[in-house]
Structures are given as C-alpha cells and as structure tokens.
Amino acid sequence: MPNRISVVGGTGALGGALALRYARAGLAVTIGSRDAVRAAAAAAKIAADAGCGQVTGLDNRAAAAAGDIVFVTVPFSSQEETLKAVRDACRGKIVVDTTVPLVPPKVARVQLPAQGSAAQIAAELLGPDVRVVSGLHNISATKLGMPGDPGCDVLVFGDDVDARGAIVDSLGGIGLRAFHAGPLANSAAAEAMTSVLISINKRHQVKDGAGIRITGPDLE
C-alpha cells in the first residue's frame, strides 16, 4: 500500500506544488497549515487542479499525525516553531525537511547556519525518534507543480540510508529524478546552491527558476 503523504506548510507555493504532484499520482495527501480552515481551502483547490486523488486539509499537527511520510515546506524563519509543533506527531516517521536557510533580504547570498545546514537543525529539533531526510531544495514550485519532467534533478540527504532510499523512491514515483546525495551534513550543498540559482535567475531572467541536473556518462 502506498504511503500516506502529509505536507506541513502545504498552503505555501512549494508545498502546494508537491501535494499537487502526489495527488495527480493518485496518492492520499494531507495538507497542513497553522490554520485548518486555510488548509481545507488549499486542499480543495489542489484536488480540483489534480482532477484525482484524495486531498484533505488539517492543522499542521493533525496533518503530521495523518501521514506516513511528512514533508515540511515552511520558510526558514518558521522552521523551529513548526518542527516543535509537529515533533510528537512524527515519532517513528520519516520527516522530509525542505527548508532552505535563506536570510532576507540577501537571498542570493549563501548564509549557511552555524549548525551547517537547515537539515541538521531539523535533526536537532526533531530528536532521535524521527527519521530525518532533506531534499527538494533546488526545484522551483512552478516546475514541481507542472505535470511531467521538471527538467531538473532532486538531491536527497539523510543519515538513515533506508529512510533516504524510501524518499528517493517516493519522489521517483511522482516523476522526479532523485539522487542519494549523502548524509544530512551534505544538505549544505543543496541549501547553498539555492542562493546560486537565485543569482542565476536574476542575471538570466529565468522565470520558472533555474535548476540543476547531475550529468555523467553513466547517468543517462
């Protein structure tokens, strides 16, 4: 039986796009928001856009409780508050943190946190009972939400190799080319790359957002 997917912070652009992609694949998705009414409205819109799938909206904590895999898609400034709110509901589950540690207003400048990466902050906040994975740092919401190949790859990080593999497979199931990219410490590479892509977007006026592809003769 496929996993039930929850998207905490699913009323945002990235979370909504991710939920839409999972709904199109026919999976049951629960949208979380601080406000359950907003979550329900977002869920209804995503269900309508997808034309299929079962999409529900709940408050973040209830959404986390409803899922087998819990994606967290909130801004860096909300990461700590959000993870503390859902922590107990995530025991024993895989949590995929997608936080990019951008520090406004200079979002095109890499400003990694003292802990190394937002993924390592998530692991500290969630504790050893949660299987923390990170990913989806380098794909724009626009590309994630469109059907088919987004034209870029997705890097997945985690110290728990089985949890990481479950996410690589799950993302593969919704049409994303996902790579095992090493331990949580390596998440710094993708988190920092987001600021590089923002730099390139500005300079080259890439409206859908630049992405990255991993290339190599044995990877075609």
Q: Interface with a second copy by CB under 8 A: which residues?
A: 108-112, 116, 151-152, 155, 179-183, 185-186, 188-190, 192-193, 195-197, 199-201, 203-219
End-to-end CA distance of the chain: 30
Q: Yes or no: say if 155 and 190 are a contact pair by the CB < 8 Å rule.
A: yes
Which run of H or of E encompasses 49? helix 36-50
- Give, in degrees to the nearest 5, the angle at Cα 31 between 63 and 149: 130
Q: CA-CA distances (angstroms) from residue 127 to 64, 159, 167, 202?
A: 16, 13, 19, 38
Burial letters for 96-123: b for 16+ Cβ neighbours within 10 Å, e otherwise?
bbbbbbbeeeeebebebbeebbbbbbbb
Q: CA-CA distances (angstroms) from residue 30 to 9, 62, 143, 158, 179?
A: 11, 9, 21, 23, 25
Burial letters for 166-194: b for 16+ Cβ neighbours within 10 Å, e otherwise?
bbbebbeebebbbeebeebebbbebbbbb
Q: Yes or no: say if 112 and 196 are a contact pair by the CB < 8 Å rule.
A: no
Q: Give the shortest CB-51-to-a second copy separation in angstroms.
A: 25
